[in-house]
Amino acid sequence: MTRLANYLETVDVRDRQFVGTIAFRNEELTLPDGSKLALGADSGHWVMVFQEQPGAAFEIIEYDQHSGKVFVDKKPGGPAELKRFKQRLRYFFAHARVADLVTIVPPQTEEK
């Protein structure tokens, strides 16, 4: 199966214009370490929903590329939280299999 990273080789994850959500297509699917992750991006605002193991509480990490600020469960974070966000993002990109995911991209609207 193709890993997500293979599709992302030409994608600049620093792109501040991308809008969309990537998540597992069903509740039974996990990453190899048993964790689950969903990722949303909207013009440089990233939201990661992470569950370390089944039954564990979900953690929500928000990262704003424009300001460089990170929040964990709505509380301000610092360099350690940003590092954890990026590590999880890299792990997700390296190990998530395309066949296990759904990608939701909002419809394009014409400007009037």
The answer to the question of residue 112 being in a domain is: no
The answer to the question of residue 52 being in a domain is: yes
Structural domain count, the chain: 1
**Is residue 88 a contact partner of residue 48, using CB atoms and an 8 Å limit?**
yes
46: CB partners within 8 A, 6+ apart: 39, 40, 62, 63, 64, 65, 85
Mean pLDDT of the chain: 84
Strand order across the 36-42 sheet: 75-76, 69-72, 59-64, 45-51, 36-42, 19-24, 101-104
The answer to the question of residue 19 being in a domain is: yes
pLDDT bin (cut points 50, 70, 90) of residue 10 is: very low
Predicted confidence (pLDDT) per residue in 30-75, tens digit: 999 999 999 998 888 899 999 999 899 999 999 998 899 999 999 9
Q: How many CA atoms lie within 13 A of 3 on its CB side?
A: 12
